[in-house]
């Protein structure tokens, strides 16, 4: 019995050591996790966009400054389209709605302060299914709002991950002129 436990412990420790040796790390746990490749960013979005406000807070918490002046920013993130939709997924035998599909779509791009695209227009679409019950309309409305907030938080994390993957562009350096003294 003791040897089986010891053998199991050895197998587990070997697996952990193998994962550590190969460089495996969980998403969001590295030294630069969530760190963007620029120091300042300007976010262009609707004033009343909950997504934009959440994104700005998330970016600021990650150590990148969010500025209101696009000229002072290293990068400009533009929200091109943000849309929340609700579709009927299924009906019961009486024709009443049983399930909805909630969809949250975001289209965005990232440019530098010289108007060069760092990330071309990209789109993310998230979906959630929600059941519907006529006797619990208020509860289902609260659940729907909660699902949209959850999708919004997921969307913010996906956008930040995509921006973190941007490779900084190195400006072309002109060769220094070499002069010979005579």
Exposure b/e, 66-83, CB count within 10 A at least 16 = b: bbeebeebbbbbebeebe
| pLDDT of amino acid 30 | 45
Residue 112 resides in a domain: yes
The range of the structural domain enclosing residue 105 comes to 30-164
**Structure tokens, 103:** 């969809």
Domain count across the chain = 1
**For the domain that residue 119 is a member of, what is the CATH number?**
3.30.160.150
Between vectors from CA 104 to CA 102 and to CA 108, what angle results, nearest 5°?
170
What percent of the chain shows pLDDT beyond 70?
81
pLDDT in tens, 2-30: 677 777 777 777 777 776 666 655 554 44
pLDDT digits (tens, 9 = 90+) for 35-82: 788 899 999 998 888 999 999 999 999 889 999 998 999 999 999 999
């Amino acid at each position: 019995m003791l040897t089986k436990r010891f053998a199991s412990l050895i197998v587990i420790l070997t697996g952990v050591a193998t994962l550590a040796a190969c460089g495996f790390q969980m998403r969001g746990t590295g030294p630069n996790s969530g760190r963007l490749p620029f120091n300042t960013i300007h976010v262009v979005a609707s004033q009343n966009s909950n997504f934009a406000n959440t994104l700005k807070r998330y970016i600021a918490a990650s150590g990148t400054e969010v500025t209101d002046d696009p000229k002072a920013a290293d990068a400009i993130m533009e929200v091109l389209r943000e849309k929340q939709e609700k579709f009927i997924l299924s009906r019961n035998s009486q024709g009443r709605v049983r399930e909805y599909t909630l969809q949250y779509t975001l289209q965005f791009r990232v440019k530098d302060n010289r108007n060069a695209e760092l990330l071309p227009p990209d789109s993310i679409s998230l979906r959630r299914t929600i059941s519907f019950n006529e006797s619990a309309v208020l509860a289902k409305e609260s659940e729907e709002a909660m699902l949209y907030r959850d999708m919004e938080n997921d969307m913010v994390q996906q956008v930040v991950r995509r921006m973190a993957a941007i490779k900084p562009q190195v400006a072309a350096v002109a060769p220094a002129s070499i002069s010979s003294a005579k």
